[in-house]
Structures are given as structure tokens and as C-alpha cells.
Amino acid sequence: MLKIEEEWLQRVLPEGFPCPSSTLISGPGGTGKPLIEFAFVSSWLKSGGSVIGIPLQYPTAEFVNAGMKKLYNVNLGNYHGKIMHIQFDPFVDEYEKRGNDVLKANLLKPSVWSQVIERADSMIEKSDLGTLVFGSALNLLLFSPTYKKDVMKYFKDIIKNDKGKTYIFSVSTSAFADEIKIWEESADNLMYTRMEKPMRLFFRISKMRKVKFSGEEIEVPISREALIEIKDVAEETRKRIIPQIMKI
């Protein structure tokens, strides 16, 4: 069981967070889902666990580093050997190393996901808590006409059956809502986000695996500045990468 650091998360998860397990954070585009993921990443690192980060909408690891520091006062530079970043590049054949803690991979191919996660896991320190794999904007992969079906099957299987690691994924329901519903039903833990004007982020838990939780909707204490930033990044990513993926 993971001890939760953030007070607002403790309110709805008083017993902690179960691990290993699979979690899906779902909601419309631009509603701060990765910022919720970062809260779990922060608690995981502070508890001694290792992390593999796969944020599809961020072009470099620096975006994750900046977000973690700004929101949760976590400097990822202090966790050398405990975290690996995997960057999405649809034009790489499989995957390649781009630094001591960065791998670049063609994440449209489900077989590459398995390979690159295991490669990243072999490069980080082991701990009793295990490895947390967090990925955001998985819905981007569904825009590929070639790989959509295989991606759907792969993540349904990972979310439902793989208990070797703890997985937290976020997805936008602004497109492919029916397909994402399949992933929601397969996950051990399901959470939702939504946004209200003027830039207020709300969060609720729908289901959890073997742990008590509160289903109340809470407002997440994240600044308007941070919410605007994540929304702008999401919008820029959609404009940049979706047209490329639709041709693959």
C-alpha cells in the first residue's frame, strides 16, 4: 500500500493507494489529468519506489520535471537512478537510448511498449514498493488507422491482467469515448476529472481495488496558471502530432 502525501488525496483515499494495481484517469481533454498523475508519482518517489514516465503529450522530460517541481516540490534530479523517461517518436523503428535516463520509442507499436518498459525497468533501481509506470494521453495512439485495434487490445490486457507493476494511465474522452470505456471497465481503479470556469479542476474516484475510498467530488488545489499551462500543452500536442499519427 502506498502512503499518500497530498492532503486532498488523503481525503478520498484515507487507507492509501493499492499496489500493484492499474489506474485509469479519464476525462475531457485539457482537464488536468497528468497533474493528478504527478501527485501519485510524487508520493511514490518519496516512499522509495522507482518510476517509468511515458507522457505522450510532452515533447521532452523537462516538462515533467518542471511540473513536478512547481506542483509538488519534487526535484526529479534528486532521484537519479530511480526514474526513467520514455519519449514518444512515431518515426523511430523501435526504441533507442537518448541519455542516461531517457529512451525514445515508437509507442504506436504495442510490441515496442513491452520491450521499452522492460528495458527502462532494467535501468532503474529496484525497491520493495516496485515500479510505477505512468503514461498520459494514451488516446493519441487511437488516431492511427494501422495500430488502433492492436493498441486497444494491448492496453485492455495490461490494465486488466498485468500485476507485475503498478500502472497509472490518463486518457482524454474528447475522442474515442466508446473505446476508452472498454479501458475504464478493465482498470482496477477508475478516476475522473472535469474543469469548471474559470479554470477550476475537479476530481472524483469511481472505483478502487480492495481499498476504501470516498466517491465525493473534490476541487484540486492547483493554480490557474498550472491548469492553463497543461491545457496549452495538450492543445499544442493535438495540433502537432495527431495529423502525423493519422497517416500511420
Q: Which residues contact 139 (CB under 8 A, 6 or more apart)?
A: 171, 172, 173, 174, 175, 176, 180
Q: List, as one string, the DSSP characters of 105-164.
A: E-TTSHHHHHHHHHHHHHTS---SS-EEEEEE-GGGGGG-TTTHHHHHHHHHHHHHH--S
Residue 231 has pLDDT above 80, yes or no: no
> How many structural domains compose the chain?
1
Domain that holds residue 203: 18-245
Quick: pLDDT tens for 123-143: 999 889 999 999 999 999 999
Q: Specify if 12 maps to a domain.
A: no
Question: What pLDDT sits at residue 214?
Answer: 96
pTM here?
0.93
Q: Specify if 10 maps to a domain.
A: no
From the list 208, 221, 218, 219, the residue with the least C-alpha distance to 15 is: 208
Across the chain, what does the average pLDDT equal? 92
The CATH number linked to 87 is: 3.40.50.300
Quick: pLDDT tens for 140-197: 999 999 999 999 999 999 999 999 999 999 999 988 999 999 999 999 999 999 999 8
Helix (H, G, I), strand (E, B) or coil at 97: strand
Q: Specify if 9 maps to a domain.
A: no
Q: Specify if 158 maps to a domain.
A: yes
Contact 2, 192 (CB under 8 A): no
Question: What pLDDT sits at residue 58?
Answer: 81
